[in-house]
């Protein structure tokens, strides 16, 4: 890490004059400690998007929101998205929907692109490890999606959209209720012919690669009295996702037929004046049927049942104790023969928070008992010291781990599974600075993460092994401000991700990223723009191939035509820049002939116009 990066206050104060940023500074947050608490008291770096942000930014997917988060990068492998939080692998990020894990137990990937944005009320992102609260996989961070809730009265909503590549979006929902009972139910159908992901136009890959996504959601919440409440929800997405096969002698066009489904229920209440408790039950399903692919023509479905008991105990006016336990069972149903198809995990945690007059502390610990790799302990500690009335410094340390997936451990013969794998382990140190000056909120984080026992394929043993180590140094900066009616957003990230054995930069990570949002309303008319810059990244572990850096500009406008009708226009990649986020290999002849590397294409200039009708009943 360069010494100049330590000059955070001077750098940030200078940045205010050039760019500013708003991150939806909500008053409360849940994901940091699994209980609702004031955001000002949370010691983890975090970003929040609420429903107003989603509509203002005209985001049509969760990945569209995440690109604005400092320290979060996205890549694409032929339409399959990957997301790196603080340089960690996709499987090192925990993804939750209403508190329930949704990642596949085989691949470790959560298909965020499948989630229905019309059913999302809020997205919270914790940047940095939280295994001491959640257990496995919360190494780079935690992404939690909260589904929409009903409100008093009766409120229907209809949205229709059309755009480039024969894109059509339709959604309808109705919510309502009274002071004690609230509900929402809705459905959507989104279709697009897409575009050709590969540029070489060989074989059957000359076609466009489209997607069809049908979604249904519903939620019911009821307050029994002031102290006790309960709720249930269902969220389902299913459809198909077309892609290109590198081997052009395959007939037809390959596609994934998917279904992502989740059921959640909770009961929460106050057991005493100082003790609040919550019980959560959940079931999730990730099912994928590959059709027309040479190597993956079959069905893989994972099912997860979970239960949690969470407790918040107020020890004194400035001390709080959060304790809880989790149980989880994963089950696999696949066309191919895995050596094992079930496993369980039981975990318990405790976290103490103390808010004194001149400092604040956080200390947490968790123990996990896994059916495969046995016992594992993680912990975290943080110290916050205010500087004057409007600044705060936070120093923290945390350990974390990632559990091997079913593919890592029990994959069919020839796929490289290794039942002797240990979990990946990491430790992180971080220094944060937060400040408020003249209606401008600034945040900066300087961190280092060391990870060992990384799981990677070893050609000498023809299976995955715990052989890799990585070190990631990083700096994140965000600024939130309003000036002369304009709301602005800037997020900067600088990382140095290294393979400790080779000294090479980890592949597909851009060392520098910058995103900027600018929005303003003129009465019933809203306008906005997003500018995103990404430096070059290496396409391979040997750092011999590079993907060029790129920049994109998006424009948006909205018009509240009537009280009930809103028109939205969104122009993406206005300058029609060519850019690439992933690579593939095209064989020079019939398999297994030598291959040539190509880069997957990303979406060029595109437009989407929509109308939303929300009559008052």
Please give the average per-residue pLDDT across 163-188, as a whole number. 95
Strands annotated E in 356-390: 360-370, 374-387
197: left (phi over 0), alpha (psi -120 to 50) or beta: alpha
When pLDDT is cut at 50, 70 and 90, the band that residue 76 belongs to is confident
Please give the average per-residue pLDDT across 335-342, as a whole number. 89
More confident residue, 13 or 304: 304
Percent of the chain with pLDDT over 70: 89
Does the pLDDT of residue 25 top 60, yes or no?
Answer: no
Please give the average per-residue pLDDT across 325-349, as a whole number. 93
Q: 176 is written with which tokens?
A: 């309502």
* Cα 177-183-184 angle, rounded to 5 deg: 125
Find residue 266's DSSP bridge partners.
231, 280
Handedness of CA 521, 526, 527, 531 (dihedral sign): positive
When pLDDT is cut at 50, 70 and 90, the band that residue 95 belongs to is very high
Does the pLDDT of residue 207 top 80, yes or no?
Answer: no
Mean pLDDT rounded to a whole number for the chain: 88
Q: Domains in the chain and their CATH numbers?
A: 3-613 (2.40.170.20)
Counting every residue, how long is the chain?
Answer: 617
When pLDDT is cut at 50, 70 and 90, the band that residue 473 belongs to is very high
Q: 245 is written with which tokens?
A: 């096969």
Strands annotated E in 461-524: 463-483, 486-499, 512-522
pLDDT of residue 9: 36
Q: 116 is written with which tokens?
A: 């229905």
Paired sense of beta strands 424-437 and 391-402, if any? antiparallel
Determine how many CB atoms are found less than 10 A away from the CB of residue 605: 13
CB 259 within 8 A of CB 287: yes
Does the pLDDT of residue 590 top 70, yes or no?
Answer: no
pTM: predicted TM-score of the whole model, two decimal places: 0.91
121-130, 203-212, 351-360, 371-380: least confident range? 203-212
Determine how many CB atoms are found less than 10 A away from the CB of residue 236: 18
End-to-end CA separation in angstroms for the chain: 59
Closest CA to 221 of 212, 211, 230: 230
Q: What is the CA radius of gyration of the chain?
A: 24
Q: 10 is written with which tokens?
A: 């001077």
Does the pLDDT of residue 558 top 90, yes or no?
Answer: yes
Look at the block and give the residue holding tokens 């808010």: 355
When pLDDT is cut at 50, 70 and 90, the band that residue 205 belongs to is low
Look at the block and give the residue holding tokens 């990020």: 93
pLDDT of residue 7: 37
Helix (H) or strand (E) holding 12: helix 8-16
pLDDT in tens, 263-321: 999 999 999 999 999 999 999 999 988 887 665 668 899 999 999 999 999 999 999 99
């Amino acid at each position: 890490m360069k010494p100049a990066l330590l000059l955070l206050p001077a750098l940030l104060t200078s940045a205010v004059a050039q760019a500013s940023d708003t991150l939806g500074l909500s008053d409360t947050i849940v994901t940091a400690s699994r209980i609702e608490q004031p955001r000002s008291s949370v010691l983890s770096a975090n970003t929040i998007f609420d429903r107003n942000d989603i509509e203002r930014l005209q985001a049509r997917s969760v990945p569209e929101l995440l690109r604005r988060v400092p320290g979060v990068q996205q890549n694409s492998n032929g339409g399959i998205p990957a997301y790196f939080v603080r340089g960690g692998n996709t499987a090192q990020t925990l993804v939750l929907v209403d508190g329930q894990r949704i990642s596949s137990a085989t691949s470790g990937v959560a298909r965020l692109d499948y989630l229905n944005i019309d059913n999302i009320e809020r997205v919270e992102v914790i940047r940095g490890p939280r295994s001491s609260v959640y257990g496995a996989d919360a190494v780079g961070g935690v992404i939690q999606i909260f589904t929409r809730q009903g409100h008093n009265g009766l409120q229907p909503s209809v949205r229709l959209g059309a755009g480039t590549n024969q894109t059509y979006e339709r959604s309808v929902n109705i919510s309502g209720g009274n002071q004690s009972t609230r509900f929402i139910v809705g459905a959507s159908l989104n279709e697009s012919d897409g575009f050709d992901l590969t540029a070489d136009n060989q074989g059957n890959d000359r076609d466009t690669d489209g997607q069809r996504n049908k979604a249904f959601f519903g939620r019911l919440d009821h307050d029994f009295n002031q102290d006790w409440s309960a709720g249930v929800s269902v969220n389902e997405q299913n459809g198909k996702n077309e892609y290109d096969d590198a081997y052009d002698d395959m007939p037809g066009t390959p596609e994934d037929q998917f279904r992502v489904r989740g059921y959640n229920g909770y009961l929460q209440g106050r057991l005493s004046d100082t003790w609040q408790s919550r019980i959560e039950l959940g079931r999730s399903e990730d099912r994928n049927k590959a059709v027309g692919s040479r190597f993956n023509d079959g069905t893989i479905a994972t099912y997860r049942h979970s239960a949690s008991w969470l407790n918040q105990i107020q020890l004194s006016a400035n001390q709080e104790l959060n304790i809880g336990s989790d149980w989880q069972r994963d089950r696999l149903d696949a066309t191919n023969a895995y050596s094992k198809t079930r496993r369980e995990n039981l975990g318990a945690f405790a976290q103490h928070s103390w808010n004194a007059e001149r400092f604040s502390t956080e200390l947490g610990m968790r123990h996990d008992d896994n059916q495969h790799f046995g016992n594992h302990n993680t912990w975290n500690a943080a110290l916050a010291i205010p500087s004057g009335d409007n600044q705060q410094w936070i120093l923290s340390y945390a350990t974390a781990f990632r559990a091997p997936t079913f593919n890592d451990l029990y994959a069919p013969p020839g796929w490289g599974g290794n039942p002797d794998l240990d979990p990946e382990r990491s430790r992180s140190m971080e220094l944060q600075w937060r400040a408020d000056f003249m209606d401008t909120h600034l945040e900066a984080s300087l961190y280092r993460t060391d990870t060992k026992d990384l799981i990677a394929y070893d050609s000498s043993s023809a299976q995955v092994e715990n052989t890799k180590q990585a070190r990631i140094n990083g700096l994140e900066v965000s600024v939130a401000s309003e000036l002369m009616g304009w709301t602005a957003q800037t997020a900067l990230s600088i990382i140095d991700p290294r393979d400790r054995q080779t000294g090479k930069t980890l592949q597909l990570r851009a060392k520098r990223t910058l995103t900027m949002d600018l929005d303003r309303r003129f009465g019933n008319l809203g306008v906005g723009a997003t500018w995103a810059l990404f430096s070059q990244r290496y396409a391979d572990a040997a750092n011999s191939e590079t993907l060029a850096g790129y920049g994109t500009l998006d424009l948006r406008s909205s018009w509240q035509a009537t009280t009930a009708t809103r028109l939205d226009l969104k122009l993406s990649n206005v300058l029609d820049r060519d850019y690439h986020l992933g690579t593939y290999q095209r064989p020079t002849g019939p398999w297994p002939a030598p291959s040539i590397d190509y880069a997957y294409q990303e979406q060029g200039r595109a437009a989407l116009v929509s109308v939303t009708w929300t009559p008052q009943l």
